[in-house]
């Protein structure tokens, strides 16, 4: 079996999301952008929402050049009014909301719990946990009112299932995202709205590529797969969970980590 990582965006069925509108937060780059592209190439109308409004606009223009129907909107997930406005923008622009990917998040400084800066802790939790709650708080009523079901994927992390020294805020927030997902999944499954979460492991990013070789090699050694992940690989899992192929999957949490948490 090939272990070559997926780096392209070639949907198995380019019409599987046709007629549906998707909102992706944190979509200006990384996993968010890869997911927006994957859904758009699958036929969805995609709204790219990001705190970096210019980055979201540029990403949307790039996707349009690839044949995707896309629009961009500014979003601060720490502000409920901003989240509500982004959801309303999706509805007003494309006529509804069928799919949502709550991906926006930040890392935060590294320090032991007993020395962690309180302001940093508050900012990380407000963005990574409260932001997911606010997103679902406004996405779910729109989907429910439309009466045609829907699907939401919350982007947690492998650190939603294990600890990581020096990251108390991030770990606490991502564990919270998993709990929110399970709760909302149970509440809305009978209404035809599926809520699930994914837990990406360490993904290749420009920041990681700037690590010195020794640190990078040490990180690789923690992965039985022998490499780090790619944004497109996470996007494929998200796309599956949003698709009708995952019709009986709700309230669950799925890792994509090269077996990092298995050892």
Catalytic machinery residues: 170
Return left, alpha or beta for 72; rule: phi > 0 is left, psi -120 to 50 is alpha, else beta: beta
d(CA 263, CA 254): 16
d(CA 95, CA 104): 23
List the structure tokens of 19: 């007629």
Query: Token pair 């079901």 is at which residue?
Result: 149
Residue 179 makes CB contacts below 8 A (sequence gap 6+) with none
Residue 37 makes CB contacts below 8 A (sequence gap 6+) with 9, 63, 66, 68, 235
Give the CA radius of gyration of the chain: 18
């Amino acid at each position: 079996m090939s272990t070559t990582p997926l780096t392209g965006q070639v949907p198995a069925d380019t019409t599987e999301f046709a007629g549906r509108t998707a909102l992706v937060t944190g979509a200006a780059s990384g996993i968010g952008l890869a997911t927006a592209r994957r859904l758009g190439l699958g036929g969805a109308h995609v709204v790219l929402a990001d705190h970096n409004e210019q980055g979201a606009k540029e990403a949307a223009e790039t996707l349009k050049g690839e044949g995707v129907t896309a629009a961009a909107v500014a979003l601060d997930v720490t502000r409920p009014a901003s989240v509500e406005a982004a959801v309303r923008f999706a509805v007003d622009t494309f006529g509804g909301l069928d799919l949502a990917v709550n991906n926006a998040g930040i890392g935060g400084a590294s320090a032991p719990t007993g020395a962690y800066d309180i302001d940093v802790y508050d900012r990380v939790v407000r963005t990574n946990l409260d932001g997911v709650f606010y997103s679902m708080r406004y996405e779910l009523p729109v989907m429910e009112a439309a009466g045609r079901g829907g699907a939401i994927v919350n982007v947690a992390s492998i650190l939603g299932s294990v600890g990581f020294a020096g990251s108390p805020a991030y770990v606490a927030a991502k564990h919270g995202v998993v709990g929110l997902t399970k709760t909302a999944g149970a509440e809305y499954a009978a209404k035809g709205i599926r809520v699930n979460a994914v837990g990406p492991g360490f993904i290749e990013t420009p920041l990681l590529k700037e690590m010195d070789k020794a640190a990078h090699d040490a990180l690789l050694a923690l992965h039985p797969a022998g490499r780090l992940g790619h944004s497109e690989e996470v996007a494929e899992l998200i796309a599956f969970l949003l698709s009708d192929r995952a019709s009986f999957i709700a309230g669950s949490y799925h890792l994509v980590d090269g077996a990092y948490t298995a050892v």
